[in-house]
Amino acid sequence: MKQTTIEALLRVYVRLEEITTELYTLADAAVEVGDFEDASLLQSRADILYEQMENLDFVISELEG
């Protein structure tokens, strides 16, 4: 695999991590104000992105190995 492809995947991973962290933070803030419906939605979206991050991490590890 080309190094540019691996580097692109790493950049995407970092972006996903930032977005996921933001969603979890927003979910926590929603819980604090009692907005459980929004918190649930934000949490579920963050969980999905986190799962994608794990999958991407596995792919990157395989390509680097």
Residue 18: predicted pLDDT: 98
pLDDT digits (tens, 9 = 90+) for 31-50: 999 999 999 999 999 999 99
Give the mean pLDDT of the chain: 96
Residue 50: predicted pLDDT: 98
Residue 21: predicted pLDDT: 98
Residue 56: predicted pLDDT: 97
Which structural domain, as residue segments, surrounds residue 45? 3-64
Residue 61, by phi and psi: left (phi above 0), alpha (psi -120 to 50) or beta?
alpha
Number of domains comprising the chain: 1
Could you count the other beta carbons within 10 Å of the beta carbon of residue 55? 10
